Chains A and B, each alone.
Chain A
Amino acid sequence: MQNIIKIITVFVFIFILGIFYVSLNRSSNYDTETLVGNKLGEIKLKSFYKDKFYVNEDFENNKYTLINFWASWCAPCRIEHQYLMELSNQKNIKILGVNFKDKKTNALKFLKDLGNPYDYLAKDTQGKQSVSFGIYGIPESILIDNKLIILKKVIGPLNSQDLEEINKIIKNL
């Protein structure tokens, strides 16, 4: 019995130290930019207004879709909002807004005050679905094509340069 405990103890420590060693050479920053080029998995997002879900097929007819994660409580989301408004005038891109961990009244007020750029509006009240998109903070935006391949990922608020790049992608048909 005693020997078994000894062996187990040794193995536990070897295991932990081994994991530490392996982890040292890994990047601990969750780099979601590497997701570019991958296909989005199954989308299932609850609609903000109606009792329905947005799924993959909803976006396959759009040439491009920008998925934007936002919330009324998020200050940088306000900063980037003007760029989304600008983008909403473009023809070959649709914008899906995912309202993240927000209160409905606050979110509606936000859109009323600043304008609503979204063609689709979904909600992720618990912040759980967003995780499968590789979101770890908001705002974040993902540009996909009609095959749901990720073309670009913006972590943090969109700026004029991002907007230019997105415009370049969607106009270079």
Chain B
Amino acid sequence: MLSNIGNSLLFLNIFFGFLIIHYSINFLKNSNTTIPKKIYHLSLLQSTSILICFCTLVAAFLVSDFSLITVYQNSHTLKPIFYKISGTWGNHEGSLLLWAIILTIFSFLFLIFNKNHPKNFRLHTLIIQNLLILGFLFFILFNSNPFSVINPIPKEGLGLNPILQDPALAIHPPLLYVGFVGSSIYFSAAMASMITNYSDSLFAKSIKSWVVISWTFQTLGILVGSIWAYYELGWGGFWFWDPVENASLLPWFAMTALLHSLIVLEKRNILYFWTIILCLLTFILSVTGTFLVRSGILNSVHTFANDPSRGIYILIFLSLMIIASIYFLFSRYKPTNNYLNSNSKETFVLINNWFMMFYLITVLLGTLYPIFTDALFNSKISVGPPFYNSVIIPVVTVFLILMAVGPQVKWIKNKFTNIKSYLLIILAALLINFLIFYFFKSYSITSNLIIISSLFLIISSIKDIFKKTNHFPRVISHLSFGFLIFFIGLNHNFSIEKDFNLKLGEKKQIDNFQFFLQDLELTKYPNYQAVKGKIKISNLITSEERTLKPEIRIYDNPQTLTYEASIRTNFLKDYYLTMSNIDRSEYYNIKFQEKPLMIWIWISVISLSLGGFLSLFRYAKYN
């Protein structure tokens, strides 16, 4: 039954999509400058029906309707309700439905929130966005239908992969999707802008808040993914340069560049085509990322069941998007004489964009290179953290300094009058850096440079807060980014890792730590059993004591063994401990890590995205 409702709603959505395109095209030639109510209503209906369609799927998961293949493959009656719901988007088909929802809702919101922009620009945006929606709906309906039925109906489902049964992972996809699927709306708007020649600073205004929204959510989505990796994957890292992580980072770079170039377009009415390229690129990269992940041509921690026919479909979709983008870009491109004074805010923003492009190209190359060598030379290679770290980290140093200086620079023509204050800031940064390695421990030259430059950015931004600037959101974001790099730098240099075996009742002393495996306890939960260890860690120098309780979980559906790290967080450091059983031995393998300032890394990213939210509020207030 639910399957029929879902399928009908999908068809209904396709019908609405065609209808909106039809009416919009008809209305383009009309001299009336307002968009008729009919289109608004259709768009609202479209959003509502796709939401109901999604709720139908959620309902199927809730009542464990195993007649649906998707539910059968990804759910189980014993699963907690929360994970039944999050299971809806924890799989390929359901997550595509989430794609369609975001495409549709953004389409509707863009329509109602941009009433003061030209009618034809808005209609064209609506048409292009609906073409994207239709593309995805056809994909869902004919290739990845979440409402496909299975006969005979299985009695029990296969269950959701236990490592996905996690609150962070439940909200990770929706956040990330608002980010990179949200970028579709400025893809559409950029196309519409080229078609209708709506190319001045007003265009920048029309998409600004959408860019900020998608950037903010993308940032949060990446953060939640990192947090999940940190406490679920069990080795204490939070960023792996895994191809799928990279796929989410690529659009982020493009968005960040766009966010900055938009300011120039809005204020100075230059860099129009560059901004357009970034708009197109962001969504193209998002779809490319989706292609790479879903087609299965990349291997990573994100395992979606592979199916080449999906890949073909997304690839065709991607190719059409690229062809259309290139066609319009080349046919509408007019060389403009963008004279830029080399010492002006415009130039600094452009430099920011170059940096972003540099990061983007580095990460893109690293991600695609293994695919290329495999296809061309049949050789399997993998590009790992050493590549990214050695290419990106030194460049970040310069980037941070420019990030501190850039915002102070004036539009059009600037004069550096505050060299003295910069020198003072550098001195302060050097001094703090010196104190850190004097009191704690020394680190490499690169780390020194990273710490100094991040301190430079932090101090400059703090100074800005007191300047009563009206760029408060920007200051917050820049400051947070400085802190983020600063904390990552310290965390990287001051982390301690110990690896040893321990049996029940045994005490072991390593350096200044003493470990004591006090107790082992078997607990039964509805969908798994857990062996909980109780390990007391005493720091012999500070005589600080903490008890950590790592778990070995045995899940029933599907049968899997997972190791749950036990993490004790405080404001200074995290204790991170995993325990794994050793077969036919009473010993347990213990991996212990002391990771300083972990929580501050998360807080920095939250506050980075807070800058985005603040700027949205401000934007809403002034418009």
| Chain A bound to chain B | yes
- Of residues 1 through 51 on chain A, the ones whose CB sits less than 8 Å from some CB of chain B are 2, 6, 9-10, 13, 16-17, 19-26, 28-30
Q: A13-B322, A19-B371 are in contact. Are A78 and B582 (CB under 8 A)?
A: yes
A29's closest neighbor in chain B, by CB? B299
Q: B330–A6 contact, CB under 8 A? A: yes
| Residue B312 at the chain A interface, CB threshold 8 Å | yes
| Residue B5 at the chain A interface, CB threshold 8 Å | no
A3's closest neighbor in chain B, by CB? B330
Cα distance A13–B315 when bound, in Å?
12
Q: Mark B14-31, 1 if CB is under 8 A from A, else 0.
A: 000000000000000000
Which has the most chain B C-beta neighbours within 10 Å: A9, A23, A25, A26?
A: A23
Q: A24–B376 contact, CB under 8 A? A: no
B372's closest neighbor in chain A, by CB? A19
Secondary structure class of chain A's binding surface, majority of residues: helix
Contacts of B375 in A (CB 8 A): 19, 22-23, 26
Q: Mark B258-272, 1 if CB is under 8 A from A, else 0.
A: 000000000000000
| Residue B506 at the chain A interface, CB threshold 8 Å | no
Q: A9–B315 contact, CB under 8 A? A: no
| Residue B318 at the chain A interface, CB threshold 8 Å | yes
**Min distance, Cβ B317 to any Cβ of chain A, angstroms:** 11
Q: A24–B315 contact, CB under 8 A? A: yes
| Residue A55 at the chain B interface, CB threshold 8 Å | no
Q: B299–A20 contact, CB under 8 A? A: no
| Residue B584 at the chain A interface, CB threshold 8 Å | yes
Contacts of A29 in B (CB 8 A): 299
Count of interface residues, chain A, beta-carbon cutoff 8 Å? 24
- Of residues 57 through 111 on chain A, the ones whose CB sits less than 8 Å from some CB of chain B are 73, 75, 78-79, 82, 106
**Min distance, Cβ A112 to any Cβ of chain B, angstroms:** 13
Contact of A23 among B297, B330, B589 (CB under 8 A): B297
| Residue B374 at the chain A interface, CB threshold 8 Å | yes
Which has the most chain B C-beta neighbours within 10 Å: A9, A24, A29, A73?
A: A24
Contacts of B580 in A (CB 8 A): 75
Contact of A28 among B298, B319, B333 (CB under 8 A): B298
Contacts of B319 in A (CB 8 A): 17
Q: A78–B372 contact, CB under 8 A? A: no
Cα distance A29–B371 when bound, in Å?
12
Which has the most chain B C-beta neighbours within 10 Å: A20, A25, A82?
A: A20
Cα distance A16–B371 when bound, in Å?
10
Q: A23–B374 contact, CB under 8 A? A: yes
Q: B326–A24 contact, CB under 8 A? A: no
Cα distance A17–B525 when bound, in Å?
48
Cα distance A21–B315 when bound, in Å?
7
Contacts of A25 in B (CB 8 A): 308
Contacts of A79 in B (CB 8 A): 583-584
Q: Mark B313-347, 1 if CB is under 8 A from A, else 0.
A: 00100110010001000100101000000000000
Q: A23-B371, A73-B499, A82-B584 are in contact. Are A28 and B291 (CB under 8 A)?
A: no
Q: A6-B330, A9-B326 are in contact. Are A17 and B308 (CB under 8 A)?
A: no
Given contacts A17-B319, A29-B299, 13 further A-B contacts (CB under 8 A): A9-B326, A19-B368, A20-B297, A20-B318, A20-B371, A22-B375, A23-B295, A23-B375, A24-B308, A26-B297, A28-B306, A28-B374, A75-B583
25 A-B pairs with C-beta separation under 8 A: A2-B333, A2-B335, A6-B330, A10-B326, A13-B322, A17-B322, A19-B368, A19-B371, A19-B372, A19-B375, A20-B295, A20-B311, A20-B371, A23-B297, A24-B295, A24-B311, A26-B297, A28-B306, A75-B582, A75-B583, A75-B589, A78-B583, A78-B585, A79-B584, A106-B499
Q: Which are the 10 A-B pairs with shortest beta-carbon distances?
A: A79-B583, A23-B297, A24-B311, A22-B375, A30-B380, A19-B375, A23-B375, A24-B308, A78-B582, A23-B371
